[in-house]
Amino acid sequence: MDEHNSSLIFSISPASGPVGSTVTLTGVGFLGVTAVYFGAVAAPTFDVVSLTEITATVPAGSGTVEVTVEGLLGPSLNGVAFTYTPVAPVLAVVSPASGPVGSTVTLTGSGFSGATAVHFGAAASSFTVVSATQITATVPAGSGTVLVTVTTPGGTSNGVAFTYTPVAPVLAVVSPASGPAGSTVTLTGSGFSGATAVHFGAAASSFTVVSATQITATVPAGSGTVLVTVTTPGGTSNGVAFTYVAVPVLTSIVPLAGPSSGGTAVTLSGTGLSGTTAVSFGGTPAAFTVVSDTSVVATAPAGSGTVPVTVTTPGGTSNSLAYTYATPPVVASIAPDQGPASGGNTVTVTGSGFSGATAVHFGTAAASSFTVVSATQITATVPAGSPGPAQVTVTAPGGTSSPVLYYYLSAPQLSAVVPDEGPVAGGTTVTITGSNLLEATAVHFGAAASSFTVVSATQITATVPAGSGTVLVTVTTPGGTSNGVAFTYVAVPVLTSIVPLAGPSSGGTAVTLSGTGLSGTTAVSFGGTPAAFTVVSDTSVVATAPAGSGTVPVTVTTPGGTSNSLAYTYIAPPAI
DSSP code, position 493 = P
**Total domains, the chain:** 7
- CATH number where 508 lies: 2.60.40.10
In a domain, 456, yes or no: yes
| 71 shares its domain with 94 | no
Q: According to DSSP H, which parts of 25-132 are helical?
A: none
Give the distance, in angstroms, between the CA of residue 98 and the centroid of all CA atoms in the same chain.
60
Last residue of a domain, one of 103, 131, 164: 164
For residues 304 and 458, give the distance between their C-alpha atoms in angstroms, rounded to a whole number. Answer: 57
For residues 420 and 414, give the distance between their C-alpha atoms in angstroms, rounded to a whole number. Answer: 13
Last residue of a domain, one of 490, 518, 538: 490
| 360 shares its domain with 374 | yes
CB of 18 within 8 A of CB of 87?
A: yes
Q: What is the pLDDT of residues 204-257, one digit of tens each?
A: 999 999 999 999 999 999 989 999 999 998 789 999 999 998 889 999 999 988
Q: What is the secondary structure of 329-351 as a DSSP string?
A: PEEEEEES-EEETT---EEEEEE
| 306 shares its domain with 335 | no
3-class state of residue 241 by DSSP: strand
In a domain, 174, yes or no: yes
For residues 448 and 454, give the distance between their C-alpha atoms in angstroms, rounded to a whole number. Answer: 18
Contacts of 417 (CB under 8 A, 6+ apart): 430, 431, 432, 473, 485, 486, 487
For residues 135 and 111, give the distance between their C-alpha atoms in angstroms, rounded to a whole number. Answer: 11
Residue-level pLDDT at 516 = 95
Q: Which residues of the chain have pLDDT under 50?
A: 1-3
60-to-43, 92, 105 alpha-carbon distances in Å: 9, 21, 29
- Using the CB atoms, write b or e for 349-372: b if 16+ within 10 Å: bbbbbbebbeebbbbeeebeebeb
For residues 526 and 535, give the distance between their C-alpha atoms in angstroms, rounded to a whole number. Answer: 16
Residue-level pLDDT at 576 = 66
In a domain, 530, yes or no: yes
Residue-level pLDDT at 1 = 39
Contacts of 122 (CB under 8 A, 6+ apart): none
Q: What is the pLDDT of residues 388-446, one digit of tens each?
A: 899 999 998 888 999 999 999 988 999 999 999 999 989 999 999 999 999 899 999 99
List the one residue out of 469, 475, 470, 483 whose CA is nearest residue 452. 475
Residue-level pLDDT at 45 = 97
List the one residue out of 143, 129, 135, 136 whose CA is nearest residue 101. 143
Residue-level pLDDT at 441 = 94
Last residue of a domain, one of 490, 523, 556: 490
Residue-level pLDDT at 171 = 96
- The answer to whether the peptide bond before residue 465 is cis (omega within 30 degrees of 0) is no
Q: What is the pLDDT of residues 336-362, one digit of tens each?
A: 999 898 899 999 999 998 988 999 999
| 502 shares its domain with 448 | no
Residue-level pLDDT at 460 = 98
| 160 shares its domain with 97 | yes
In a domain, 576, yes or no: no
273-to-28, 56, 226, 288 alpha-carbon distances in Å: 106, 92, 21, 12
CB of 498 within 8 A of CB of 568?
A: yes
| 8 shares its domain with 80 | yes
| 311 shares its domain with 337 | no
In a domain, 112, yes or no: yes
What does pTM read for this prediction?
A: 0.44
Element (H, E) at 161: strand 160-164
Q: Show the domain range for 517.
A: 494-571
In a domain, 478, yes or no: yes
Give the distance, in angstroms, between the CA of residue 357 and the centroid of all CA atoms in the same chain.
27
Residues forming a β-bridge with 232: 235
Residue-level pLDDT at 2 = 45
One-letter identity of residue 71: G
End-to-end CA distance of the chain: 225
For residues 165 and 170, give the distance between their C-alpha atoms in angstroms, rounded to a whole number. Answer: 16
DSSP code, position 301 = P
DSSP code, position 247 = P
List the one residue out of 232, 235, 233, 229 whose CA is nearest residue 217. 229
Residue-level pLDDT at 42 = 97
| 281 shares its domain with 214 | no
Work out whether strand 421-423 and strand 485-490 pair parallel, antiparallel, or are unpaired. Answer: parallel
| 264 shares its domain with 319 | yes
